[in-house]
Amino acid sequence: MNDIPISVLFGILVFLILSSGFFSASETSMMAINRYRLRHLAAKKHRGAQRVSQLLERPDRLIGVILLGNNFVNILASSIATVIALDLMGEAGIAVAAALLTVVILIFSEVTPKTIAALHPEKVAFPASFVIKPLLSILYPLIWALNGIGNSLLKLSGISKQNQDNHHLSPEELRTVVHEAGGLIPPRHQKMLLGILDLEKVTVEEIMVPRNEIVGIDIDAPLDVITEQLAISQHTRLPLYRENIDNVIGVVHLRKLLRLFKHDEFSKKQLEKIARDLYFVPEGTPLHTQLLHFQRHKRRIGLVVNEYGDIQGLITLEDILEEIVGEFTTNPDALSLDIHPQEDGTFLVDGSITVREFNRMMQWNLSTDGPKTLNGLILEYLEVIPEAATSLLLDGHPVEIVQMANKAVKMVKIMPNLKVPQAQVKKDLEEGES
In single-letter form, the type of residue at position 381 comes to Y
pLDDT for 381-427, tens place per residue?
A: 888 888 888 888 877 778 888 888 888 888 999 876 544 444 555 55
- Secondary structure of 85-152 in HEC code, one letter for each residue: HHHHHHHHHHHHHHHHHHHHHHHHHHHHHHHHHHHCHHHHHHHHHHHHHHHHHHCHHHHHHHHHHHHH
In single-letter form, the type of residue at position 30 comes to M
CB-based contacts of 323: which residues, under 8 Å, 6+ apart?
195, 198, 199, 202, 207, 287
Measured distance CA(78)–CA(71) in Å, rounded:
10
Portions of the chain given CATH number 3.30.465.10: 335-433
**Are 227 and 249 contacting, i.e. CB atoms less than 8 angstroms apart?**
no
Kindly report the pTM of this predicted structure: 0.61
Portions of the chain given CATH number 3.10.580.10: 202-325
pLDDT for 266-303, tens place per residue?
A: 888 888 888 888 899 999 899 999 999 999 999 999 99
Task: Tell me the torsion sign for CA atoms 400, 334, 190, 341.
Answer: negative
Class of 335-433 per CATH? alpha beta
pLDDT for 303-346, tens place per residue?
A: 999 888 889 999 999 889 888 887 665 444 444 467 888 888 88
**Are 38 and 126 contacting, i.e. CB atoms less than 8 angstroms apart?**
no
Residue 324 confidence (pLDDT): 85
Tell me the fold of 202-325.
Answer: CBS-domain (3.10.580)
Q: Which residues of 354-368 are buried (b: 16+ CB within 10 A; e: fewer)?
A: bbbbbeebbebebeb
CB-based contacts of 279: which residues, under 8 Å, 6+ apart?
251, 297, 299, 301, 302, 303
- Mean pLDDT of the chain, nearest integer: 83
